[in-house]
């Protein structure tokens, strides 16, 4: 299994698509609890196994996505099925797990490396074992598979004021989904799931081949891929409610910009783990072809008018589960441009 990625849009050769088996909202994770308690949404998330009817819908969506990728000559892998409803122990903390739905969240592929990232969610620090099948094949074929030092996430390691979380800088903390690849540059979102120390650590791992550029003050709630998408070498898609001309990173100033100022909100079950902007979360099969939620008709029209081929397929539970197309997929190999 060859591992090679340097951007988000080159011709896709192989990819992981997540699964929803034993999906669960974790018990015992103090950071997860703190983030849920600081949410601006009314109500609370119901802990424990995610209802079967939700998982059935999500499974169908993931399976359809996998089929469409295969139709486009992409080799598809799936995580191993693990029971996230069980209790796991880490740093003397006992939690249940979460899920492998958003398979991009924790594993970062860059060059011929795969990095198991230092997520702040203790409940997800066991999730890497669902990728042992992929890890074994990748290492056999020369991949450098690395594990970041995992954070213990004690109460003193974060502070939440209102709905904004600030992480300690005592050690690196970040999710893989905090980072987007732009060939020789890695754009790293500083947020509730990524601190500055994480960017420093990532730079030390990727060396001189890539420059890690931090992006702060744009979006403080979790991941980067509902705010900006790299569509090809010359074009970026921007969330107009968060990004303005004055806060676009300098190295992207001269790119062609497609602005999306609104999206259609998906319905959700009881509590939304993601905002409506999860509908912005699209992924590229190649520089001309993108996958977009069926409900996003205006975005689809905009992208077609800009010369892109659009594959529409639904993501009915994207808000319930907190993952769009970029979230639920993980690039393994893209053609080097």
| Region of poorest pLDDT, from 31-35, 60-64, 142-146 | 31-35
pLDDT for res 165: 87
Mean pLDDT calculated for residue range 165-178: 95
Mean pLDDT of the chain: 95
Chain segment 191-235, per-residue pLDDT in tens: 999 999 999 999 999 999 999 999 998 876 889 999 999 999 999
Which residues participate in catalysis according to the annotation?
175, 223, 327
The answer to whether 286 touches 310, Cβ cutoff 8 Å, is: no
Chain segment 239-248, per-residue pLDDT in tens: 999 999 999 9
pLDDT for res 42: 77
The answer to whether 196 touches 167, Cβ cutoff 8 Å, is: no
pLDDT for res 309: 98
Chain segment 281-296, per-residue pLDDT in tens: 999 999 999 999 999 9
| Region of poorest pLDDT, from 93-97, 160-164, 210-214, 293-297 | 160-164
Residues 6 or more apart in contact with residue 58 via CB below 8 angstroms:
20, 23, 101, 316, 317, 320, 321
Is 12-334 CATH 3.75.10.10? yes
pTM over 0.85: yes
To 5 degrees, how large is the angle CA 198–CA 255–CA 178? Answer: 20
The answer to whether 220 touches 170, Cβ cutoff 8 Å, is: no
């Amino acid at each position: 299994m060859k591992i090679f990625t340097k951007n988000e849009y080159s011709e896709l050769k192989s990819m992981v698509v997540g699964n929803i088996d034993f999906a669960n909202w974790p018990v015992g994770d103090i950071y997860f609890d703190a983030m849920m308690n600081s949410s601006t949404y009314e109500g609370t998330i119901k802990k424990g196994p995610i209802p079967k009817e939700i998982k059935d819908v999500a499974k169908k969506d993931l399976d359809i996505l996998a089929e469409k990728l295969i139709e486009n000559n992409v080799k598809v892998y799936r995580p191993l099925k693990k029971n996230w409803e069980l209790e796991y122990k880490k740093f003397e903390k006992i939690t249940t797990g979460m899920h492998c739905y958003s398979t991009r969240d924790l594993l970062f592929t860059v060059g011929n490396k795969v990095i198991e990232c230092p997520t702040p969610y203790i409940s997800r620090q066991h999730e890497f074992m669902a990728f042992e099948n992929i890890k074994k094949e990748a290492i056999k074929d020369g991949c450098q598979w690395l594990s970041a030092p995992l954070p213990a996430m004690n109460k003193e390691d974060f502070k939440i004021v209102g709905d904004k979380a600030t992480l300690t800088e005592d050690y690196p903390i970040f999710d893989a989904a905090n980072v987007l690849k732009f060939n020789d540059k890695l754009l790293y979102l500083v947020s509730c799931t990524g601190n500055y120390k994480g960017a420093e650590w990532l730079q030390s791992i990727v060396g001189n081949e890539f420059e890690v550029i931090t992006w702060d003050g744009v979006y403080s709630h979790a991941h980067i891929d509902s705010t900006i998408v790299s569509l090809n070498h010359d074009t970026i898609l921007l969330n107009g409610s968060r990004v303005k001309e004055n806060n676009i990173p300098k190295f992207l100033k001269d790119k062609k910009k497609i602005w999306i100022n609104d999206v259609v909100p998906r319905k959700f079950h009881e509590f939304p783990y993601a905002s409506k902007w999860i509908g912005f979360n699209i992924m590229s099969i190649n520089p001309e072809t993108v996958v977009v939620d069926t409900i996003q008709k205006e975005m689809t029209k905009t992208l077609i008018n800009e010369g892109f081929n659009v594959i529409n397929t639904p993501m009915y539970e994207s808000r319930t589960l907190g993952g769009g197309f970029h979230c639920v997929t993980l690039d393994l190999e893209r053609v080097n441009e």
